[in-house]
Structure formats: structure tokens, C-alpha cells
Structure 1
Amino acid sequence: MKKLLLLFFTVSFLNSGAIYAQSDWVSLFNGKDLTGWFIRGKATWAVQNGVLVGEGGMGHIYTYTTASDFEFKGMFRITGEKTNSGFYFRAVPPENNPDGFPRGYEAQICHNQDAHTGWLWKPGTPTGKAEKLITKDGEWFSYKIKAVGNNITFWINDELVMKYEDDEYQSGYFAIQGHNPGMKIEAKELYYKNLKKDNSLSKQEKESGWKLLFNGKNFNGWRQYDGTKMPENWVIEDETMKVHLGKGKKPGQGANGDIIFGDKKFKNFELSIDWKAGEMANSGIFYNIRETPGKKIYYAAPEIQVLDNENATDNKIDSHLAGSLYDMIAADPGTVNPAGFWNTVVIKVQDGKVSHTMNGRKVVEYTLWTKEWDELVQNSKFKNFPGFIEGVSKEGYIGLQDHGYTVWFKNLKIREL
């Protein structure tokens, strides 16, 4: 997530749905409504007198904002019967039960058990010990969390209570838990500060073989598909790659602006891209591109759909929604953040086995060059495409689509397998 400098409480649509900022601190909660949050489970969530309130049973409320390295600060109060809650970070809903306990880290909020407020929990397991309990039911207290790499630190009421090293979860949403009927969790003044620079690699990523495809400054390595230069409707904006409506075009009409990373072809790899859709946006991410003069980028390449699922005109078919293998296999739309919020998609290709992971949840799996693949093609719009009849290439370029809408991309990185 990019750092924001927003003065006088200026509303920002372009940066992950954050509502306000205090210098580098970015607000997760606007004090008015649940903008920027989504709900899973049975707990009910509302805003009362500027406070985020959860009650009614088990469930979680997640931010659309994701983070890896960050600082967080917020105020919490818990009341009622059998009080138990927590603040999650680097967390995602579990794939097999989206309403269940998140996969990620939890800063515990509970005053009636040994692994109490201040402990670090992993799913179902107390992990990092808090030295002492300094809070109690019915009283507001401050939580501060810092997570950088595998170092996790908690402060309560500005007092250091927990330090732990763990690297199981690298990135994810923030979330608040409702646990038991009869209890209430309240939260306010929720801010975070991004500590990870966009378009950069950590030491661990470098050691794991990740390489950047975009440096945040220029289009080095990129060019027009079936061309030599970058199309005019691609620009660098706030260290992102932005495609917008081409000159003289109507929404939905590309300006011959499909692009590829032309420095190298890839065969077995893991590709990670952050993308953000503008209103009604439609685009795509392609791999194994076979660049054929006079043919389109989708002539013989699989496409991972990029879409404003709510407002795009092409949102009537399940397999046309974001994260899907376009027109073949539908992804779960519940994993996709809406227009104006960043998403992270990871595409893994190894010996023909392919998976799409959207915001930490695997949503599509298939295998190229198999009978099942041939059936997918035959049941799609590509059944009569000469390139798909000839077959998807064993290796190829990575590409991004210009479909006549505004879309942003950043943190494009790849590692060969």
C-alpha cells in the first residue's frame, strides 16, 4: 500500500480506499460507515457514535486494505459475557470456510484466559507470550502493532508487551473478530502506516529468486505487443503503471495498447501483480504469449481477468469476473476487492499446472495441454481461434491488456521455478 499524504481529511478514491491520513498514518475507519470493510460470519457490525461495533456471535470484519510490513495503532474496548476478540493482520478468510477463523496473525483481546490480551495467536494457537495483562473489560485501551519481515511487536497503552519472530504469514488483510453471543467489541481511531516500499523486493524475496518486472519509475522492459514502443495511453502515475482510455476512443475500445514484458519469455514461474480497477474497468493479464504479427494478444494466450465486478458491462457471465480464467473457469467473486481498492493476484505455472490466487485465496486451478484443457477450450469462445487450435505455447511473454478503461498495476514481480 502506498503512503498517502492527505491534508484536511481529503477523500481519496485512488489509494486502496483509505479515508483519512495523519502524515504517513492512513485511516482504516472513517467513523461514519463501513466503507472499506467487508463482513464474514454471523457477527453484526455497525457504526455507533463514531465507533465500529461488533456483536451477535462469531464473525469477522475485514478491511479491503492489505499490508505486509506496517505499523498499526487503534483503540479497543470489550464488554459483555464471555468476552473474546482479536485484531488480525496479514490475514485472509480460509479457502474452505470463508466465514471461519482467518489464516493469519491475531493480536488477542481477551481478559479471561491465560493467553490474554497482548498475546500473539496463530489460528487456534497461542504463539507469542505477552509478559503481563494490563487491560480489563469495559475500559478503552490502545493497541500498537509493528510487523516487519518476521519480527512482530505489540504495545498496549504504549507499554511493550510482546516480541516474537515468525514468517508463516507474509501479507493479508486487517480484520476484527466477534467471538461469542452476548459480548461486544468496539474499535475506533484505527490507523496504519505502510513500511514496505512499492516496486521493491525484500531480502527474503531476493533470496527466493524474485525479480521485478517494473521499477516504479519507467517502462524499462515493456513495449507494445506486436510493436516496439510503449503505447501513448500508458503512463507512470504515483509509481504505478496506468492504462487509460486512448485518444479518440470510447470506453471499451482499446487503443492498440496491449503491452508485453519483451525482455524475456517465461516457462515455469510464479507471477505476482497488484492491480486496481477504475469504475467499470475491464482488462486482463496474459501469460505464455505467442507474439504473432497481425494477431491480437489473446490470439493464443490464456487470460486472467481484471474487472470491476460490480459495474463493468462484462459482468454477466461468471467466468468473465475478476480472477477467472477468462471464459473458461470462474473464480470466486468474493475474493475480489471492488473498484478503487488494490488486489493481489498470483499466477503459478509449473509443467502445465496452473493456479490463480486472488488476495491470498486460491480461486482457479487447471492443467494445460490435457484432455480437460481441450474441453475447456471447446466450451469457450476460443474454440475456433486458430491460436488455441494450434495450442498454447510452452513458454511466452507476460502481457497486460488495454480494453479502453482505467486500470493501475504495481509490484509486478516474477520468480522462475
Structure 2
Amino acid sequence: MKRIVLFGLVLGLFVMAAPAKKITLFNGKDLSGWKVYGTEKWYVKDGELICESGPDKQYGYLATEQTYKNFDLSVQFKQEANGNSGVFFRSSIEGTKVSGWQVEVAPKDHDTGGVYESYGRGWLEKIPSEKENILKPEEWNTMRIRVEGDHVQTYLNGKPMIDMHDAKIGAADGSIALQIHDGGGIKVRWRKLVLKTL
């Protein structure tokens, strides 16, 4: 009987200590696992995922087919021309109207790493002005987004940007989505989109 109890305890500890599942969201070859919303351009070149404004100059989104509630996501981006974009989480999209939360990816002095709620409350938290110099314009940057329950943390190039709690976010679920802002003239390169489930 003691052996059975001990085995059960060991098995329980093993399950509790099971590592998070690591998922590569972008395969470097095509848009498998993603869905395009809108008429803006999404394509793969030299192993990179590129978003670019199309002739309509409207909002565009590329969203995962799977939903992810609790995760730790790392993504690299490089802005060319106007880099106004973003990474949405726990989002849903109809046409080009998105419900969810965006971690901002934008030109310098425009709150890259801040959290914005589209078609809702707007800015939930902007980054402190002294952190605007962490973004490297026209170079590769690494964004990390950790979302667990109602807790959201963002990091840019290894530096903490936002640490917040929000009940509405905590109750939601949905896809990861990349954005092209409206207005035209936008181009952003993406690579190494890796997510760990929590």
C-alpha cells in the first residue's frame, strides 16, 4: 500500500513539473496555421514573414487558426518605413474589426510594448517615456509577451515594459494576430515566432 501511495505522489510531482509545450507559430516557409483578414499583403521571403500595406491602405490582420489563452510568446520584428503594427492576443476578428488586446509595435516614441484595447477602452497602459530608447529602429528587435490569467507582462529586447492585471483580459480567450495599421506605407518583417503554453 505504501508503495502505491509513494508511486502516486511521484507521478503527481512529475505531472506538476511537466514542461510547457513549445510551439513554433511560423514555419519560415508559408502561412500554414494562419488566416489572413483584409486585403493588405502578407507573404514569406527568405524565411521571414512580411506584412506590407496594400492598395486599399486599410487595417489588415494575420491570425493563428488556434487559440491560446495562457502563454509566453517571443517574436522578432524589424520595422521598415512606417512600422506601425502590433501583436494581438486573446483576439477574435470579423472582417477587419478585431476584438482583443494589442501589444504595440510602432515607430520610436509611440509606445512599443504598451497594451491597447481596440474598439474598447483604448490604451490600458503606455510605456514610460524613459523606455522609448529601448526600441532599435530599422534593426531586429525581440518582443516577449507573457499572458497568464489576468496578468500581462511585456518585454522589449530583454527589458521589462509593462506589468499589469486586468479582469476583462483574464476572462477572454482567442488567437494571436499580427496587425497592419491603416494609412498605407507600412512594412514590417517578422521571424522566430515561438510560443510556450502555460
- Give the structure-1-normalised TM-score: 0.39
Q: Distance in 2 between matches of 1:102 and 1:185?
A: 19
* 2:50 match: secondary structure: strand
Question: In the alignment, residue 104 of structure 1 is paired with which amino acid?
Answer: G
> Is 1:90 paired with 2:90?
yes
Which residue number corresponds to residue 74 of structure 1? 75
As a proportion of its length, which structure holds more helix? 2
Which residue number corresponds to residue 110 of structure 1? 106
Which residue number corresponds to residue 345 of structure 1? none
Q: Distance in 1 between matches of 2:44 and 2:21?
A: 25
Which residue number corresponds to residue 185 of structure 2? 182
* 1:137 match: secondary structure: coil
Q: Distance in 2 between matches of 1:112 and 1:73?
A: 20
1:191 to 180, 191, 194: 194
How far the C-alpha of 1:129 sits from its partner, in A, is 2.4
Question: In the alignment, residue 69 of structure 2 is paired with which amino acid?
Answer: S
Question: In the alignment, residue 163 of structure 2 is paired with which amino acid?
Answer: K
Unmatched runs of 5 consecutive residues or more in structure 2:
1-19
The Cα RMSD (Å) is: 1.7
- Deviations, residues 231-264 of structure 1 (Å, cap 9, x unaligned): xxxxxxxxxxxxxxxxxxxxxxxxxxxxxxxxxx
Which residue number corresponds to residue 123 of structure 1? 118
Which residue number corresponds to residue 269 of structure 1? none
Q: Is the 8 A contact 2:35 2:64 kept in 1?
A: yes
Q: Distance in 2 between matches of 1:186 and 1:144?
A: 16
Which residue number corresponds to residue 162 of structure 2? 162
How far the C-alpha of 1:25 sits from its partner, in A, is 1.7
Q: Is the 8 A contact 2:79 2:138 kept in 1?
A: yes
How far the C-alpha of 1:185 sits from its partner, in A, is 1.4
Q: How does 1:261-340 map to 2 (within 5 A)?
A: none
- Deviations, residues 257-308 of structure 1 (Å, cap 9, x unaligned): xxxxxxxxxxxxxxxxxxxxxxxxxxxxxxxxxxxxxxxxxxxxxxxxxxxx
Which residue number corresponds to residue 152 of structure 2? 152
How far the C-alpha of 1:99 sits from its partner, in A, is 2.5
Question: In the alignment, residue 59 of structure 1 is paired with which amino acid?
Answer: G
Q: Could you say which structure has the larger radius of gyration?
A: 1
How far the C-alpha of 1:182 sits from its partner, in A, is 1.3
Which residue number corresponds to residue 44 of structure 1? 41
Q: Distance in 1 between matches of 2:105 and 2:97?
A: 15
- Deviations, residues 70-89 of structure 1 (Å, cap 9, x unaligned): 110110111113x3100011
* 1:168 match: secondary structure: helix
How far the C-alpha of 1:66 sits from its partner, in A, is 0.7
How far the C-alpha of 1:130 sits from its partner, in A, is 1.7
Which residue number corresponds to residue 99 of structure 1? 95
Question: In the alignment, residue 45 of structure 2 is paired with which amino acid?
Answer: Q
Q: Is the 8 A contact 1:111 1:136 kept in 2?
A: no
- Deviations, residues 322-359 of structure 1 (Å, cap 9, x unaligned): xxxxxxxxxxxxxxxxxxxxxxxxxxxxxxxxxxxxxx
Q: Is the 8 A contact 2:35 2:65 kept in 1?
A: yes
How far the C-alpha of 1:55 sits from its partner, in A, is 0.5
**Between the two proteins, what is the percent identity of the paired residues?**
28
Question: In the alignment, residue 74 of structure 1 is paired with which amino acid?
Answer: V
How far the C-alpha of 1:177 sits from its partner, in A, is 0.5
As a proportion of its length, which structure holds more strand? 2
Q: Is the 8 A contact 1:107 1:121 kept in 2?
A: yes
Runs of 4 or more above 3 Å deviation: none
Q: Is the 8 A contact 1:142 1:157 kept in 2?
A: yes
- Give the structure-2-normalised TM-score: 0.79
How far the C-alpha of 1:152 sits from its partner, in A, is 0.3
Q: Distance in 2 between matches of 1:145 and 1:166?
A: 15
* 1:73 match: secondary structure: strand
Question: In the alignment, residue 183 of structure 1 is paired with which amino acid?
Answer: I
Q: Is the 8 A contact 2:108 2:135 kept in 1?
A: no
